[in-house]
Amino acid sequence: MPNSDVSKQKRIAAGIIGMLMIIVMLFSAFYISTETGHDCIGEDCPICACVQQCENVLHKIGGGLAFIISVIAPVICAIICAILFVSDIQKQTLISRKIRMNN
């Protein structure tokens, strides 16, 4: 049974690292999209330097795949949130709450 504990820990660590990579890609793509039309002050523009770093991160992680994931990931997150809160959205009735209705 010790191997199952180690493999479970590895799966959890891999899941956390994967989620962190997705978050980094999302924030990098979001920053690039928001700061694309900024007022550049010239060669030493700090915003241009940050945009360049975000582009480097996206290219190193996977290039086109990073852009696709950064577009699809918010949709998937919204679907997961909707699934988690579907019980709150559904109307509660006496029958769904299993309340006996006597005359």
Residue 17, domain member (yes or no):
yes
Domain count, the chain: 1
The CA-based dihedral angle spanning residues 22, 28, 32, 34, taken in that order and rounded to the nearest 10 degrees: 80
Is residue 25, in this structure, part of any structural domain at all? yes
**Average pLDDT, rounded, for the chain:** 78
pTM of the model: 0.50
Question: Which of 54, 76, 77, 78 has the alpha carbon at shortest distance from 66?
Answer: 54
94 located within any domain: no
- 73-103 per-position pLDDT tens digit: 788 888 888 877 776 666 777 777 787 878 6
- Give me the phi and psi of 72, to 5 degrees please: -85, -30
Residue 38 lies in domain: 2-89
Q: Give the list of residues 6+ apart from residue 69 with CB closer than 8 angstroms, or none.
A: 22, 25, 62
